[in-house]
Amino acid sequence: MTTWGRDRLLPDLSVRLPIPDLRPWLEGNVLPGVWSFSAAEPGPHVALVSLMHGNEIAGALLLARWLRQELRPVRGRLTFIFANTAAFARFDPADPTISRFIDEDLNRVWDDRLLASARRSAELDRARALRPLMDEVDVLLDLHSMLWPSDPLIIAGAAPAARALGVRLGTPALVVADHGHQTGLRLIDSPVFAARPALLVEGGPHWEQATLETLESCATALLRDTGVIAAEGPPRTPGRLAEVTRTVVAGTHNFAFVQDFRGGTVIPRRNTLLALDGEQEIRTPHDDCLLIMPSPRALRGHTAVRLARYTGN
Ligand SMILES: [Zn+2]
Protein backbone atom coordinates (compact mmCIF):
# COMPACT_ATOMS: atom_id res chain seq x y z
CA MET A 1 0.00 0.00 0.00
CA THR A 2 1.19 3.49 -0.82
CA THR A 3 1.26 6.06 1.89
CA TRP A 4 1.98 9.69 1.25
CA GLY A 5 4.58 10.31 3.88
CA ARG A 6 6.03 13.56 5.04
CA ASP A 7 8.86 13.45 2.54
CA ARG A 8 6.79 12.77 -0.55
CA LEU A 9 3.91 15.18 -0.84
CA LEU A 10 4.88 18.83 -0.95
CA PRO A 11 2.58 21.82 -1.35
CA ASP A 12 3.07 24.25 -4.23
CA LEU A 13 4.99 27.16 -2.74
CA SER A 14 5.18 29.43 -5.81
CA VAL A 15 3.84 32.90 -5.08
CA ARG A 16 1.87 34.01 -8.13
CA LEU A 17 0.28 37.05 -6.50
CA PRO A 18 1.94 40.43 -5.96
CA ILE A 19 2.87 41.22 -2.38
CA PRO A 20 0.38 43.82 -1.16
CA ASP A 21 1.80 47.23 -0.33
CA LEU A 22 0.16 47.89 3.03
CA ARG A 23 2.25 50.93 3.95
CA PRO A 24 -0.67 53.34 3.35
CA TRP A 25 -2.97 51.18 5.49
CA LEU A 26 -0.91 50.17 8.51
CA GLU A 27 -1.92 53.14 10.60
CA GLY A 28 -5.69 52.65 10.43
CA ASN A 29 -8.36 55.14 11.43
CA VAL A 30 -9.72 53.33 14.49
CA LEU A 31 -6.87 50.97 15.46
CA PRO A 32 -3.55 50.09 13.82
CA GLY A 33 -4.38 48.23 10.61
CA VAL A 34 -8.13 48.80 11.00
CA TRP A 35 -10.21 51.13 8.83
CA SER A 36 -13.86 51.78 9.56
CA PHE A 37 -16.37 53.88 7.64
CA SER A 38 -19.97 54.70 8.52
CA ALA A 39 -22.79 55.66 6.16
CA ALA A 40 -25.43 58.26 6.98
CA GLU A 41 -28.11 55.59 6.50
CA PRO A 42 -28.41 53.12 9.40
CA GLY A 43 -27.57 49.49 8.75
CA PRO A 44 -25.46 46.60 9.95
CA HIS A 45 -21.78 46.83 10.83
CA VAL A 46 -19.91 44.45 8.51
CA ALA A 47 -16.26 43.62 9.16
CA LEU A 48 -13.93 42.04 6.61
CA VAL A 49 -10.80 40.47 8.09
CA SER A 50 -7.59 39.71 6.19
CA LEU A 51 -4.17 38.44 7.31
CA MET A 52 -5.51 36.43 10.23
CA HIS A 53 -2.63 34.33 8.96
CA GLY A 54 0.26 36.58 7.97
CA ASN A 55 1.13 34.70 4.79
CA GLU A 56 -2.41 34.65 3.34
CA ILE A 57 -1.97 37.72 1.17
CA ALA A 58 -4.95 37.33 -1.19
CA GLY A 59 -7.41 38.81 1.31
CA ALA A 60 -5.04 41.70 2.03
CA LEU A 61 -4.73 42.43 -1.69
CA LEU A 62 -8.52 42.64 -1.91
CA LEU A 63 -8.95 44.92 1.12
CA ALA A 64 -6.04 47.17 0.07
CA ARG A 65 -7.60 47.55 -3.38
CA TRP A 66 -11.03 48.39 -1.95
CA LEU A 67 -9.45 50.94 0.38
CA ARG A 68 -7.53 52.45 -2.53
CA GLN A 69 -10.76 52.61 -4.54
CA GLU A 70 -12.47 54.24 -1.55
CA LEU A 71 -15.21 51.63 -1.29
CA ARG A 72 -17.64 53.02 1.26
CA PRO A 73 -20.89 51.67 2.75
CA VAL A 74 -24.17 53.08 1.41
CA ARG A 75 -25.71 52.12 4.74
CA GLY A 76 -24.44 50.83 8.05
CA ARG A 77 -20.74 50.55 8.72
CA LEU A 78 -17.91 48.80 6.90
CA THR A 79 -14.65 47.86 8.62
CA PHE A 80 -11.49 46.53 6.96
CA ILE A 81 -9.08 44.67 9.24
CA PHE A 82 -5.47 43.69 8.52
CA ALA A 83 -5.11 41.32 11.45
CA ASN A 84 -1.58 39.94 11.81
CA THR A 85 0.41 42.74 10.19
CA ALA A 86 3.44 41.86 12.33
CA ALA A 87 3.62 38.37 10.82
CA PHE A 88 2.89 39.72 7.33
CA ALA A 89 5.86 42.10 7.69
CA ARG A 90 8.05 38.99 7.60
CA PHE A 91 6.47 37.65 4.39
CA ASP A 92 9.16 36.29 2.10
CA PRO A 93 8.13 34.79 -1.26
CA ALA A 94 11.23 32.58 -1.10
CA ASP A 95 9.84 30.95 2.06
CA PRO A 96 6.17 31.93 2.14
CA THR A 97 4.95 29.62 4.90
CA ILE A 98 7.07 30.92 7.78
CA SER A 99 5.13 34.20 8.13
CA ARG A 100 1.86 32.51 9.11
CA PHE A 101 2.31 33.88 12.63
CA ILE A 102 4.99 35.20 14.99
CA ASP A 103 4.46 33.18 18.20
CA GLU A 104 1.21 31.28 17.75
CA ASP A 105 -1.80 30.93 15.46
CA LEU A 106 -3.87 34.14 15.77
CA ASN A 107 -6.94 32.14 14.79
CA ARG A 108 -6.81 29.94 17.90
CA VAL A 109 -6.70 32.56 20.66
CA TRP A 110 -10.22 34.02 20.75
CA ASP A 111 -11.30 32.48 24.06
CA ASP A 112 -12.17 35.42 26.32
CA ARG A 113 -10.59 33.67 29.34
CA LEU A 114 -7.34 33.27 27.45
CA LEU A 115 -7.46 36.91 26.35
CA ALA A 116 -8.05 37.94 29.99
CA SER A 117 -5.10 35.83 31.21
CA ALA A 118 -1.60 37.08 31.93
CA ARG A 119 -0.02 35.06 29.11
CA ARG A 120 1.71 37.16 26.46
CA SER A 121 2.48 36.58 22.79
CA ALA A 122 2.52 38.78 19.69
CA GLU A 123 -0.80 37.25 18.65
CA LEU A 124 -2.47 37.52 22.06
CA ASP A 125 -1.52 41.19 22.22
CA ARG A 126 -3.02 41.76 18.78
CA ALA A 127 -6.20 39.82 19.61
CA ARG A 128 -6.57 41.86 22.83
CA ALA A 129 -6.35 45.06 20.80
CA LEU A 130 -8.95 43.85 18.28
CA ARG A 131 -11.37 42.15 20.68
CA PRO A 132 -13.38 45.25 21.87
CA LEU A 133 -14.12 46.16 18.24
CA MET A 134 -15.74 42.75 17.74
CA ASP A 135 -18.50 43.70 20.19
CA GLU A 136 -19.58 46.33 17.65
CA VAL A 137 -19.61 43.99 14.63
CA ASP A 138 -22.92 42.55 13.39
CA VAL A 139 -21.62 40.41 10.50
CA LEU A 140 -18.04 39.20 10.05
CA LEU A 141 -16.21 37.60 7.13
CA ASP A 142 -12.67 36.32 7.70
CA LEU A 143 -10.71 35.92 4.42
CA HIS A 144 -8.33 32.95 4.26
CA SER A 145 -6.52 30.72 1.78
CA MET A 146 -5.11 27.20 1.89
CA LEU A 147 -1.77 25.43 1.64
CA TRP A 148 -2.99 22.06 0.37
CA PRO A 149 -5.08 21.38 -2.75
CA SER A 150 -8.76 21.89 -1.98
CA ASP A 151 -11.93 23.33 -3.44
CA PRO A 152 -12.81 26.73 -1.93
CA LEU A 153 -15.34 26.70 0.90
CA ILE A 154 -17.08 28.76 3.53
CA ILE A 155 -16.82 27.67 7.18
CA ALA A 156 -19.83 28.64 9.23
CA GLY A 157 -19.22 27.23 12.68
CA ALA A 158 -22.19 26.19 14.77
CA ALA A 159 -24.42 29.32 14.80
CA PRO A 160 -27.61 28.87 12.72
CA ALA A 161 -27.49 32.50 11.50
CA ALA A 162 -24.01 31.95 10.09
CA ARG A 163 -25.03 28.73 8.35
CA ALA A 164 -28.01 30.43 6.72
CA LEU A 165 -25.90 33.39 5.62
CA GLY A 166 -23.21 31.14 4.13
CA VAL A 167 -25.78 29.22 2.10
CA ARG A 168 -27.35 32.48 0.92
CA LEU A 169 -24.01 33.85 -0.32
CA GLY A 170 -23.53 30.76 -2.50
CA THR A 171 -19.97 31.68 -3.48
CA PRO A 172 -18.02 29.52 -2.93
CA ALA A 173 -20.81 26.96 -3.12
CA LEU A 174 -19.70 24.63 -0.33
CA VAL A 175 -20.62 25.76 3.20
CA VAL A 176 -19.22 23.68 6.03
CA ALA A 177 -20.81 23.79 9.47
CA ASP A 178 -18.21 22.64 11.95
CA HIS A 179 -17.37 22.77 15.64
CA GLY A 180 -13.94 24.37 15.50
CA HIS A 181 -10.55 22.98 16.44
CA GLN A 182 -9.50 21.48 19.74
CA THR A 183 -6.34 23.62 19.70
CA GLY A 184 -8.25 26.86 20.39
CA LEU A 185 -11.07 29.18 19.37
CA ARG A 186 -11.11 30.81 15.96
CA LEU A 187 -12.45 34.35 15.72
CA ILE A 188 -15.68 32.96 14.22
CA ASP A 189 -16.00 30.70 17.31
CA SER A 190 -15.73 33.62 19.73
CA PRO A 191 -18.73 33.88 22.06
CA VAL A 192 -19.26 37.35 20.53
CA PHE A 193 -20.54 35.59 17.43
CA ALA A 194 -22.79 33.04 19.13
CA ALA A 195 -25.85 34.92 17.92
CA ARG A 196 -24.38 37.09 15.16
CA PRO A 197 -23.21 35.61 11.87
CA ALA A 198 -19.48 35.15 11.39
CA LEU A 199 -18.05 33.26 8.42
CA LEU A 200 -14.60 32.19 7.38
CA VAL A 201 -13.92 31.75 3.66
CA GLU A 202 -11.08 29.60 2.33
CA GLY A 203 -10.69 31.02 -1.17
CA GLY A 204 -8.28 28.44 -2.62
CA PRO A 205 -4.50 27.98 -2.72
CA HIS A 206 -2.61 30.73 -0.89
CA TRP A 207 -0.91 32.56 -3.71
CA GLU A 208 -3.12 32.17 -6.80
CA GLN A 209 -5.05 34.81 -8.73
CA ALA A 210 -8.17 32.60 -8.74
CA THR A 211 -8.13 32.68 -4.93
CA LEU A 212 -8.25 36.47 -4.90
CA GLU A 213 -11.20 36.34 -7.32
CA THR A 214 -13.05 33.83 -5.13
CA LEU A 215 -12.51 35.97 -2.02
CA GLU A 216 -13.73 39.03 -3.92
CA SER A 217 -16.93 37.36 -5.10
CA CYS A 218 -17.63 36.03 -1.60
CA ALA A 219 -17.02 39.38 0.10
CA THR A 220 -19.03 41.21 -2.58
CA ALA A 221 -21.94 38.81 -2.08
CA LEU A 222 -21.79 39.51 1.65
CA LEU A 223 -21.77 43.30 1.22
CA ARG A 224 -24.75 43.05 -1.14
CA ASP A 225 -26.63 40.62 1.12
CA THR A 226 -26.27 42.98 4.08
CA GLY A 227 -27.15 46.05 2.00
CA VAL A 228 -23.84 47.71 2.88
CA ILE A 229 -23.32 48.16 -0.87
CA ALA A 230 -26.07 48.29 -3.50
CA ALA A 231 -27.32 44.89 -4.65
CA GLU A 232 -26.61 44.38 -8.35
CA GLY A 233 -26.44 41.50 -10.76
CA PRO A 234 -28.49 38.35 -11.10
CA PRO A 235 -29.81 36.54 -8.02
CA ARG A 236 -27.28 34.16 -6.54
CA THR A 237 -27.58 30.40 -6.56
CA PRO A 238 -27.60 29.24 -2.93
CA GLY A 239 -24.72 27.13 -1.69
CA ARG A 240 -24.83 23.61 -0.24
CA LEU A 241 -24.45 23.01 3.46
CA ALA A 242 -22.36 20.14 4.76
CA GLU A 243 -22.09 19.26 8.43
CA VAL A 244 -18.88 17.97 9.95
CA THR A 245 -19.44 14.47 11.28
CA ARG A 246 -15.95 13.84 12.60
CA THR A 247 -12.78 15.84 13.16
CA VAL A 248 -9.71 13.67 12.72
CA VAL A 249 -6.85 14.84 14.92
CA ALA A 250 -3.41 13.33 14.37
CA GLY A 251 -2.69 11.23 17.45
CA THR A 252 0.86 10.30 16.47
CA HIS A 253 3.82 11.82 14.67
CA ASN A 254 3.23 9.33 11.84
CA PHE A 255 -0.15 10.35 10.49
CA ALA A 256 -0.28 9.60 6.75
CA PHE A 257 -3.08 9.57 4.20
CA VAL A 258 -3.20 6.54 1.89
CA GLN A 259 -3.63 8.83 -1.14
CA ASP A 260 -3.06 12.51 -1.81
CA PHE A 261 -6.72 13.36 -1.27
CA ARG A 262 -7.94 16.73 -2.50
CA GLY A 263 -10.25 18.73 -0.21
CA GLY A 264 -13.84 18.62 -1.49
CA THR A 265 -13.55 14.97 -2.59
CA VAL A 266 -16.55 12.79 -1.71
CA ILE A 267 -15.75 9.18 -0.79
CA PRO A 268 -18.80 7.12 -1.76
CA ARG A 269 -18.52 4.17 0.65
CA ARG A 270 -18.33 3.97 4.41
CA ASN A 271 -15.39 2.12 5.93
CA THR A 272 -13.01 3.23 3.15
CA LEU A 273 -9.45 3.54 4.44
CA LEU A 274 -8.31 7.18 4.42
CA ALA A 275 -5.18 7.28 6.54
CA LEU A 276 -2.95 5.53 9.00
CA ASP A 277 -2.26 7.25 12.30
CA GLY A 278 0.58 5.14 13.63
CA GLU A 279 -1.05 1.72 13.98
CA GLN A 280 -4.58 3.05 13.82
CA GLU A 281 -6.65 3.00 10.63
CA ILE A 282 -8.78 6.05 9.85
CA ARG A 283 -11.82 5.07 7.81
CA THR A 284 -14.88 6.88 6.48
CA PRO A 285 -17.63 6.66 9.14
CA HIS A 286 -20.47 6.85 6.59
CA ASP A 287 -21.27 6.82 2.87
CA ASP A 288 -20.81 10.02 0.82
CA CYS A 289 -18.09 11.26 3.09
CA LEU A 290 -16.83 14.73 2.16
CA LEU A 291 -13.18 15.46 2.94
CA ILE A 292 -12.64 18.96 4.31
CA MET A 293 -9.11 20.37 3.96
CA PRO A 294 -6.96 17.25 4.40
CA SER A 295 -3.61 18.34 5.81
CA PRO A 296 -0.97 15.72 4.90
CA ARG A 297 1.56 17.07 7.38
CA ALA A 298 -0.67 17.50 10.38
CA LEU A 299 1.38 17.57 13.55
CA ARG A 300 0.39 15.44 16.52
CA GLY A 301 -2.61 17.03 18.26
CA HIS A 302 -3.61 19.06 15.18
CA THR A 303 -6.54 18.56 12.83
CA ALA A 304 -5.59 16.28 9.92
CA VAL A 305 -8.94 16.31 8.13
CA ARG A 306 -12.57 16.95 8.87
CA LEU A 307 -15.17 14.53 7.54
CA ALA A 308 -18.56 15.89 6.57
CA ARG A 309 -21.86 15.04 4.98
CA TYR A 310 -24.10 17.23 2.81
CA THR A 311 -27.34 18.09 4.58
CA GLY A 312 -30.63 18.40 2.79
CA ASN A 313 -30.71 22.23 2.98
ZN1 LIG B 1 -5.82 30.89 7.17
State the distance from the centre of ligand 1 to the C-alpha of 52, rounded, in angstroms. 6
State the distance from the centre of ligand 1 to the C-alpha of 79, rounded, in angstroms. 19
Q: How many CB atoms lie within 10 A of CB 312?
A: 5
Q: What pLDDT, in 10s, does the model give residues 58-108?
A: 999 999 999 999 999 999 999 999 999 999 999 999 999 999 999 999 999
State the distance from the centre of ligand 1 to the C-alpha of 287, rounded, in angstroms. 29
**Average pLDDT rounded to a whole number, residues 136-155:** 96
State the distance from the centre of ligand 1 to the C-alpha of 39, rounded, in angstroms. 30
Q: Terminus-to-terminus CA distance in the chain, angstroms?
A: 38
Contact indicator for 148, 293 with CB cutoff of 8 Å: yes
State the distance from the centre of ligand 1 to the C-alpha of 279, rounded, in angstroms. 30
State the distance from the centre of ligand 1 to the C-alpha of 96, rounded, in angstroms. 13
| Reported confidence tier of residue 8, pLDDT bands at 50, 70, 90 | low
pLDDT confidence of residue 20: 97
**Average pLDDT rounded to a whole number, residues 243-263:** 95
**Average pLDDT rounded to a whole number, residues 18-22:** 97
Q: What pLDDT, in 10s, does the model give residues 165-219?
A: 999 999 999 999 998 877 899 999 999 999 999 999 999 999 999 999 999 999 9
Q: What pLDDT, in 10s, does the model give residues 104-128?
A: 999 999 999 999 999 999 999 999 9
State the distance from the centre of ligand 1 to the C-alpha of 233, rounded, in angstroms. 29
**The Cα angle at residue 273 between residues 268 and 275, in degrees rounded to 5:** 125
| Reported confidence tier of residue 313, pLDDT bands at 50, 70, 90 | low
State the distance from the centre of ligand 1 to the C-alpha of 203, rounded, in angstroms. 10
